Amino acid sequence: MTDGLAQIANGDRRGQAKGLADQVTDQVGQIILGKVTEIKLAFACLLARGHLLIEDVPGVGKTLLARSLAIALGLDYRRIQFTSDMLPADIIGVSVFEQNTAQFRFHKGPLFTELVLADEINRATPKAQSALLEAMGEQQVTVDGQTYALPNPFFVIATQNPTHQIGTFPLPESQLDRFLMRIRLGYPPEALERILLSGDDRRDMLDDLTPVLASRDLLELQAAAKHVHISAAILDYTQALIRFTRESPELEVGLSPRGAVDLIAAARCWAMINGHAGVHPEDIKVVFGPVAGHRLQTRHDAHHTAPNIAAFVLDAVPVP
């Protein structure tokens, strides 16, 4: 089995991972137009067993992206709409006393799904947010001393509105750190938006999507990503980037070791779905922004936004 996985990454079947990824991108790309990089990043994020945060203004297709990914990957999908009066039990589930058995029975909440869309996560109070985040870290929940395992694979795609909008509770840094990537969608290019306007309703088109993968395939790909080669040169480059974020006087905090591990994991998956046998500097550069952007903070945030911080760091560090 392990040999087979290694083959996916290194050997003749390396193209297979790329082929699957391309199919997923094609499928989702039919719904979300002109966002190939973002779709591939989202896919890479799930392959790296990470959770994804999509931050953007309402209406650019955040929910649609999550739903179409779920369909293309053949995953169970449930959506939790976060509101300000939400309680942890609304997410995790609740123990109910049953009269006929005279016992408490746990009713699983919407969290027990392979792919959870936590919509507008920053509308909920920190208490409700933390219930979700605990599940994200451990892939299990504990209610009344009883531990329940969450399904495998288990992904959370959270969306949030830009934090300056009214009625939001911004996620603290420690919880932001739980997300492997944060991406933004942005408006579609004008030509593609024209197709969007003239075409069918995207929601109806979801019904036409066909799953590309079974969830077993996904697990296999996840395992295969670990066999993507990491050379000494790429470790040098990664460490140079990390060192720079920690030493630069422009930045408030540098990248944590967890952030660094996540960076390598994400770069491996990105390399795999692009058909590389090893991680190339370019792979690091592409995933650096989504992985590190939300974990870094400038000293004077006035003129550096997240992609700018990443670009600033990538500009400053030479590639060996």
Nearer to other proteins, 85 or 315 (CB): 315
| Sites for other proteins among residues 183-212 (CB under 8 A) | 183-186
Residue 315 touching other proteins (CB under 8 A)? yes
Nearer to other proteins, 137 or 320 (CB): 320
Smallest separation (angstroms) from other proteins to the CB of 267: 11
| Sites for other proteins among residues 202-261 (CB under 8 A) | 229, 231, 233-234, 247-250
Among 67, 268, 276, 295, binds other proteins (CB under 8 A): 276
Binding piece for other proteins, criterion CB under 8 A, among 97-105, 164-172, 207-215, 278-286: 278-286
Among 117, 132, 260, 279, binds other proteins (CB under 8 A): 279
Q: From CA 238, how far away is CA 231, in angstroms rounded? A: 11
Residues belonging to the chain: 320
Residue 11 touching other proteins (CB under 8 A)? no
| Sites for other proteins among residues 18-47 (CB under 8 A) | 37-38, 41
Binding residues for other proteins, rule CB under 8 A, total: 40
Among 196, 206, 223, 277, binds other proteins (CB under 8 A): 277
Nearer to other proteins, 178 or 276 (CB): 276
Q: Kindly write out the interface string for residues 79-118 of this chain, putting x where it contacts other proteins by CB under 8 A and - elsewhere.
A: ----------------------------------------
Cβ atoms 248, 316 nearer than 8 A: yes
Smallest separation (angstroms) from other proteins to the CB of 293: 8
Give Cβ neighbours of residue 300 (< 8 Å, ≥ 6 apart): none
Residue 235: both structure tokens together: 């470790």
- Measured CA distances, 84 to 173, 259, 274, 281, 290 (Å): 20, 30, 41, 43, 27
Q: Give exposure, 190-217, as e/b (b: 16+ Cβ within 10 Å).
A: eeeeeebeeeeebeeeeeebeebbebee
Nearest to 259 by CA among 182, 156, 170, 318: 182
| Sites for other proteins among residues 137-176 (CB under 8 A) | none
Nearer to other proteins, 178 or 294 (CB): 294
Q: From CA 111, how far away is CA 114, in angstroms rounded? A: 8
Three-state secondary structure readout of 26-82: HHHHHHCCCCHHHHHHHHHHHHCCCEEEEECCCCCCHHHHHHHHHHHHCCCEEEEEC
Smallest separation (angstroms) from other proteins to the CB of 248: 5
Could you tell me where the DSSP H helices lie in the chain? 2-9, 14-31, 36-47, 62-73, 88-92, 126-138, 173-176, 190-198, 202-205, 215-225, 232-247, 257-273, 281-292, 306-316
Binding piece for other proteins, criterion CB under 8 A, among 133-141, 192-200, 213-221, 274-282: 274-282
Residue 262 touching other proteins (CB under 8 A)? no
Q: From CA 252, how far away is CA 311, in angstroms rounded? A: 16
Contact residues toward other proteins (CB under 8 A) are: 10, 37-38, 41, 183-186, 229, 231, 233-234, 247-250, 276-282, 285-286, 288-290, 307-308, 310-312, 314-320
